[in-house]
Structure 1
Amino acid sequence: MAQLDKLLAAFRVSTQYPALISARILDCSTTSLSVQSVWVQRILERQSTTRYRQTAVSDYKTYTITSPPTDISNELISAYSKSNKYFCVVREVESAKDSKQYLEVWADCCLIKTYDLSALDVHGKIYADVEFETLQWSPDETKILYIAEKKVPKSEPFFKQKPISSGDKSDVEIKNAVPGKEYEWSQDWGEQMVGKITPVLVVCDIKSDTIELLPNIPNNIHPASASWIPDGSGVVAVGYKISSRKLGLVYCTNRPSHIFSLTLNGYYNVLSSDSELSVKTPRFNPNGTKLVWLERLVGGPHHSCFKLISYNWSTKEITTVVDFVDNQTVIANNKEVPFYGLYNQAILRRSWLNDNKTLLLSTPQGGSIHTFAIDTETKDIYYLPVTKPFHESVSVVDVFNDILVCHKSSLNKPGQLFTIKINFANEMYDFNNLSIHEISPSRSLPNSDEYVVEHGYTLYDKPTTIFYGPKNGKCPLIVFPHGGPHASSLDSYMPNAAFFVQIGFAVLFVNYRGSTGLGKNYVESLLGNIGDADIKDVYNAVQSNPLWSNRELLLYGGSHGGFIVTHLSGQYPSKFKAIVALNPVTDLITMSGTSDIADWGITETGYNYSYSDVLANSKEVLMKLADCSPCKIADKVQAPTLLLLGDKDLRVPASQGLSYYHLLKEHGVTTKVLMYNDCHPLGSVSADMDSSINTALWFIKYTNEDTKESKD
């Protein structure tokens, strides 16, 4: 019991810090500024999270929180008008029977409009996810643009007892209901997008109190991430192209799409240049002369390097500002900092300096997040030296009047907000000498000075490992490959890594081949080589340092990270003491038929995706999928294996883990399954707490007695 209390206390400590959702500069001058931020924090006692808003005022030396944090847990999404005169919010209110959404408009410190969207019945639920999310005021501050689910006709059984007519609205609904359609299935956008089937663009006019759908979007185009055209005559947006099967969007930047404009009277026009592109987040500069977006080729790895594209709104000329970076290149103001390309998946709503040509972007770079200023005319890239490279991850979250609000954290230090003043003199910005000021508390983990975060260069002279753990000693090492595989391990704060270190372990992250933030070639080098190159990279990274390889070694990973750790336990069966895998990919053949990203395994094994071809006549593809699967070597596994699965996971269905469990049991391996009522990330408070503490207990149980005694 004492051990369990210790683990619970460590989990509480490592997960108690709030995580930033957004921040906005409300007002600024040469002497002061006001910043409003939104945070989310876990509450173990309620097994839930709370979302809250707070405002801080700074004189560029110190800051003051102006009022207690305000709980906004039932707010889905909110937006200020350009002048900050109006504030709108989409609120979801739960009742015993259902949940209802309301669109509220606030001004002059009071609520001036409320629209009961469920009662008005113009459309379905408003989208607030990261892929489609849109809530924006028109330039004249009279209209609100958002994206919602298309209204679905009412349905009923073939036979249903009819109530006696009362002449009210319910009679009309019953009359218009379509019989026999209530169980008709429609495909949504997959993992974490359940119920999002057909998005529509909606405009609410607060003067006329009307809510209308924008017309003339083609039926095979689904709008996302929309913004107003500068004169308010229409919108620009991403248009996802729909084919016979929707493939999951979350974590995937390779889906066919284009940038389009749409006037309020229904004129639809494609702005981007190529039909085989995938695009993200179109954004105008403040004076409306430039439109920028992120762009890459369709297909291939699920995430890779982007181009930054600029579109001249007057001449319609398209220019590549930042091209793909195959390996690395140099930047304008710091030859010591390599630039590996753009891997951010969005551009901020407000991301421009006052010159209307300089854009601020933060992007993963070799295991850290670096922030850059990009001149869209000269195409020069400038590194912002907020901290020493590869010491902390720094992300810009809002830009206004040449003031930046940024967020920084490290594995050893939870997140903090701060501001940067960009100095302008002699018609030039000085990106080397920044004025930096805190705007939220600085926090550190208990005994943080006893732990170290070290980046290592072990593969192809790239920064591909991050060690996090005690400065001294030989505690067990948890090898923790990231998922994706086209993602990256970063040195930003990670609660579960902090938890492991707090209870006496060290953690090693490896950005193996296929990881983002290290050049386009590095991402694509994994295609056709999964189950081989990624496994060797992780194993060789451990072996490269005797301070790591001579410890007791443990494996922990989720999704493709789970694929890697289950492979490692089969390929090197005597090397690892215990394994924990979260929603691991174990059988690529069945993944291709059950996952919301059916293209994933086929693409990763080096083939072009065609679902019908694979099932119909490609023995070669099926054999490669089988050869690359961890289940093929399950008979070699020796280490005790804990499987953490989500029964709502659409990305890597729980059947993957369960089939692997049965194989291990058949071969006499000690194994256990924990099944959670959750989706792919196992991110709910209850699932995260239970899985983390069970992981710790599993690792402690299967490391040697001397180690266990030193921890008690």
Structure 2
Amino acid sequence: MSLLEYSGPSTFYTELAELPLPLSANFIAGDLIRVTYSVRDHERNIKRSLTKTFPLITDHEISYATSHDSSEIKAFATSPSKSRQAILREVTNGSTTNRFVEVWSGTQIEASLDVTKYHDVFHTDDFLSSLSFSPSESSLIYTAEAKIDSHDDDPSRDPYPKFRYTPHFGEQSRTKKRPTIFLFRWTKSSMSTRVAKQDISLFALSQTQSTEIPILFGQATFATEDLIFAAGFEHTKDGRLLGVKGCFNRPMGIWELRLPESGSLAGTPLGARISCNSLKLTPSERSCRSPRVLYDDNRTPIKLFWLSNPVGGAHASCVSLESRDLKTNSNKVLVDTVIEPTPENDFPGLYPEYTLPSSPFLHRGKHVYIVLQSLWRSRTTVLFIDTESGTITDETKIHPDEPMYSWNVLATDNKMRVVCSRSTPTTPSDVLLGYFNQRGDLSWKVLDRPVLSGEAESALRDLTASIIPIGARPPTETLVIQSKKASARPGPKPICVTTPHGGPHATSTTAFSPATAALALEGYTLSLPNYTGSMGFGEKYITKLLGHCGSMDVEDVVESVEELIRLGISEPGRQVVQGGSHGGFLAAHLIGQHPHLFNAAVMRNPVISVGELTASDIPDWLHSEFGLPFMPSTLLTPASFQTLFAASPIAHVDRVRAPVLLLLGEDDLRVVPTQGMRLYHALKGREGTVEMLVFPKESHPLEGVEAARVSWEAGRDWFKAFAEGRLGA
């Protein structure tokens, strides 16, 4: 009989997971707000895009909203005047996919081109995506994968380019190897509202100057008609592209690209490469990304801003905001790294998303601000950063007895309005419009709220969330979610599920998580500890973990369990643990180092034997995080392997008593599946209680619609079977 028995679908999980998740927003023509959502469709087993349009009656009053499926639209941007929209569209018909670049003026197409034969997929992720209008609104730049000429139709021609090794961008980016900025231009005519194909040009941009190390460009934005700023990703000296997902420390910089004169491009075929003069603007020891241009009232570019981290070391750390005066060409640090917050100033430093919002600027009186969300301990908040002084204000600070909202900035109109989303552990995401009232204060108007069934709404009202400081190991704290009814019942306390986050440099926040809320609705208490190494607490506590993974983070989590027991929130003998990636590493350590603390464990793509992780897309991680030096020429020696083995969960496998469920993605490039399999076979060989599910075509997060659902159901059923300690004792 299988150890894992299916108890059926969860209506709560399905309903909560299918709630639209707001991802981005745009202001259109001054009186429309367009919000794009991601929607999980369990019936079709796909993720869909949904767009809602909110007409504005006044600056802050909204008419009825309309919505439509926008899954064909891969990227969308509005022009500086807000009168035009750019769309990158993919249309699939059977096994054939066609790609189109479209420019709309109001409700009419102004220019359109089928670009399928000129390049491969559009790049629309946070790392490579570009979609920017020129100031005159007659050109666009975007990022796409360059084609490689394989000469399949002529066997006598050179076959080697088709098979020559080309590094890719790592986890979830296996097919991204040759990102290229494309320039799309169109010439309007008074004879027609739609530009003829002969009046459209398309160019692939390349550098005029050769560089010692190849540079791959993305995140491009126009400054003037012939000046572009972009992020340039660099190969390492040993020919790698280190994985970028979740990594803020990659060799990359901000570059200036100058287009050739328009007259010199006349007659150039569609899709042809043109050379640009290039200049790197940032130092090699800084990892710089996300260029954003600030214009004055005359649409003259005056400043350039970007995000910056050190190259190497911790894969994520406190972020600096830097700027360049485009008149004097001088750079400065606007917001520097914060080593440790103080009682007088508890600002922990900047911990934003990988990129700045596409339109990050707001004007308030005579001041211009960059608006972004940033981690501040266990929540994300909206910060205004003065573009001159770097002064920071927390615009969504929580006051006593207020909900513990975490916020996301979706867009500004680059004037006086901003669209954000917010949620708590027990309330799904609202979408709000922020605007300045007559006194200059920031006010909020709800644009959209999720629609829940009465049963789900009632069930969520029974949940409560709190942040518990772990006083013995500051600044560690844990986010606790529990059922008021279940916690108040006489008898044993509810089973407590400890869920350390991955990374290790990440953070569990007060944002709504369908999977977490659904598990709490099953009657469990959830504890999500932010241990040493978590972001949002100051740089000191990120670097403090380096060289101590597997000990300091483990003991922080153990102390969080013991603190909840002391507070009466949970009790001994009713503890289980789950985690993914580094969270799985911690779960495996916890059941090995503390074999009687947890009755069961669930692990998603866990790190089990660090020294055997050299096939990862981030080979530097296993050195830097464990206190070993890393250079492109670094090889794993017997001595370093011994250090890594001693810090690995596999070193404690003989002490494991808890039943273990492993959930692995077959295509995981970050923590290769052999890591989890290593633990599976080790436990099997020791007659341990272990089960493993392997998901084809799934990568590190297991975030496909079916994989996420089955993973959640499997964890629930594993805890149902073993949380009481029947086999784990």
Partner residue in 2 for 1:285: 294
Deviation at 1:184, TM superposition (A): 3.5
Return the letter of the residue paired with 2:389.
Answer: T
1:8, CA displacement in angstroms? 2.1
The residue correspondences of 1:529-608 to structure 2 (distance < 5 A) are 529-546=548-565, 547-550=568-571, 552-592=574-614, 594-608=615-629
Whether the aligned pair in 2 keeps the contact of 1:373 and 1:384 (CA below 8 Å) is yes
Aligned to 2:482: 469
Q: Secondary structure at the match of 2:206?
A: coil
The match for 1:297 is 310
Give the equivalent residue in structure 2 for 1:412.
426
Partner of 1:451: 463
Is this contact kept in 2: 1:646–1:680, CA < 8 A?
A: yes
Is residue 2:699 matched to residue 1:679?
yes
2:535 is matched with: 516
Mapped to 2, the partners of 1:343 and 1:516 lie a distance apart of 10
The answer to whether the 8 Å contact 2:460/2:521 transfers is no
2:686 maps to 1:690: no
Shift of 1:85: 2.5
Alpha-carbon deviation of 1:286? 3.2
Does the CA-based 8 Å contact 1:43-1:50 persist in structure 2?
yes
Give the deviation of 1:386 after TM superposition: 6.2
CA contact (8 A) 2:351 2:535 kept: no
Aligned-pair CA distance for 1:383: 1.1
One-letter code aligned to 2:63:
T
Which consecutive residues of structure 1, in runs of 5 or more, have no partner in the other structure? 157-172, 707-712
Query: One-letter code of the match for 1:701?
Result: A
Q: Partner letter of residue 218 of structure 2?
A: A
Partner of 2:172: 192
CA displacement at 1:443 relative to structure 2? 5.6
Q: In structure 2, how many angstroms separate the alpha carbons of the residues matched to 1:628 and 1:505? A: 31
The within-5 A match list for 1:147-158 is: 147-156=143-152
Matched, 1:492 2:547: no
Q: Deviation digits for residues 469-514 of structure 1, max 9, x if unmatched? A: 1122421111000001111101101111011011111110011111
Distance in 2 (alpha carbons) for counterparts of 1:481 and 1:536: 12
Q: Distance in 1 between matches of 2:159 and 2:390?
A: 59
The residue aligned with 2:281 is 271
Q: 1:4 to 1:653 in 2, by over 3 A?
A: closer
2:10 maps to 8
Q: Counterpart in 2 of 1:170?
A: none
1:390 deviates by: 7.5
Structure 2 residue ranges without an equivalent (≥5): 188-198, 261-275
Task: Please give the TM-score of this superposition, normalised by the length of structure 1.
Answer: 0.89
Which deviates further from its counterpart, 595-604 or 383-392? 383-392
Deviations 1:214-267 (A, max 9, x none): 2326451111211101x2222001111212221101111100111111110222
SS of the equivalent of 2:694 reads: strand
**1:431-490 per-position Cα deviation (integer Å, ceiling 9, x unaligned):** xx4321111125675322211110122155436210011122421111000001111101
How far apart are residue 346 of structure 1 and its match? Answer: 1.5
| Aligned residue number for residue 128 of structure 2 | 132
- Report deviation, 1:577: 1.0
Query: C-alpha distance in 2, partners of 1:337/1:611?
Result: 38
Compare 395-404 and 248-257 and name the one that shifted more: 395-404
**188, 197, 200: which one pairs with 1:209?**
200
* Contact 2:576 2:600 (C-alpha < 8 Å) held by counterparts: yes
On the 8 A contact 1:458/1:544 being kept in 2, the answer is: yes
> In 1, Cα distance between the equivalents of 2:649 and 2:24?
40
**Residue by residue, what CA displacement relative to the aligned partner does 1:150-190 show, whole Å, maximum 9, x if unpaired?**
2312244xxxxxxxxxxxxxxxx538853355444322111
Alpha-carbon spacing, 1:176–1:138, altered in 2? closer, same or farther (3 Å):
farther
Partner of 1:485, secondary structure, is coil
Measure the CA separation in 2 of the matches of 1:188 and 1:648: 14
User: What is the number of equivalent residue pairs in this alignment?
Assistant: 666
Query: CA separation in 2, counterparts of 1:132 and 1:602?
Result: 27
* Residue of structure 2 in register with 1:505 after alignment: 524
C-alpha RMSD over aligned residues? 2.2
Read off the aligned partner of 1:290 and give its amino acid letter: K
Which residue, out of 18, 21, 24, partners 1:22?
A: 24
Separation in 1, partners of 2:714, 2:75: 35
Q: What does residue 159 of structure 1 align with?
A: none
Moved more, 274-283 or 53-62: 53-62
The corresponding residue for 1:234 is 227
Distance 1:234 1:340, change over 3 A: closer
* 8 Å Cα contact 1:451/1:469 also seen in 2: yes
Paired position in structure 2 for 1:360: 371
- 1:338-357 matches, within 5 Å, as 338-354=347-363, 355=366, 357=368
Distance 1:317 1:329, change over 3 A: farther
Amino acid at match of 1:324: T
For residue 382 of structure 2, what is the aligned residue in structure 1? 371
The letter of the residue matching 1:300 is G
Q: Within the alignment, does 1:382 sit opposite 2:396 as a pair?
A: no
Q: CA 1:61–1:346 in structure 2 vs 1: closer, same or farther (change >3 Å)? A: closer
Taking the aligned partners of 1:20 and 1:347, their CA distance within structure 2 comes to: 17
| Aligned mates of 1:176, 1:234 — CA distance in 2 | 42
Deviation, structure 1 residue 703: 2.5
Q: Is the 8 A contact 1:367 1:463 kept in 2?
A: no
Partner of 2:194: none
The one-letter code of the counterpart of 2:368 is: K
Residue matched to 1:46: 44
Distance 1:302 1:705 in 2: 37
Specify whether residues 255 and 504 from structure 1 end up closer, same or farther in structure 2 by C-alpha distance, changes over 3 A only: same
State the secondary structure of the residue aligned to 2:553. helix
Distance 2:6 2:612 in 1: 38
- The residue aligned with 2:270 is none
* Aligned counterparts of 1:356 and 1:79: Cα–Cα separation in 2: 26
Instruction: Please state how far the C-alpha of 1:98 moved relative to its aligned partner.
Output: 3.7
Of 147-156 and 510-519, deviating more is 147-156
SS in 1 for 2:154: helix
What's the TM-score once normalised by structure 2's chain length?
A: 0.87
Aligned amino acid, residue 442 of structure 2 = L
Three-state SS of the structure 1 residue aligned to 2:116 is helix
1:54-92: CA deviations, max 9, x gaps?
11134467633332x111112211212222322221112
Q: Quick check: 2:435–2:443 contact (8 Å CA) kept in 1?
A: yes
The answer to whether structure 1 residue 94 and structure 2 residue 106 are counterparts is no
What amino acid maps onto 1:470 in structure 2?
A: S
How much does 1:385 deviate? 3.2
Residue among 113, 116, 119 paired with 1:118 = 116
Q: Does structure 2 conserve the Cα–Cα contact (< 8 Å) formed by 1:201 and 1:214?
A: yes
The runs of at least 4 consecutive aligned structure 1 residues that moved more than 4 Å come to 3-7, 58-62, 442-445
Note if contact 1:646-1:675 (Cα within 8 Å) is conserved in structure 2: yes
Q: Which residue of the other structure, out of 632, 643, 654, is the alignment partner of 1:624?
A: 643
Offset, 1:128: 1.2
What's the CA shift for 1:562?
0.4
Distance in 1, Cα, partners of 2:725 & 2:612:
40
Deviation, 1:560, is: 0.4
The answer as to whether partners of 1:153 and 1:177 remain within 8 angstroms in 2 is no
Amino acid of the structure 2 residue aligned with 1:568: L
SS of residue paired to 1:260: strand
Moved more, 178-187 or 676-685: 178-187
- CA deviation map 1:608-641 (0-9, x unaligned): 21364333xx333111111111111111111110
Q: Which residue of 2 aligns with 1:145?
A: 141
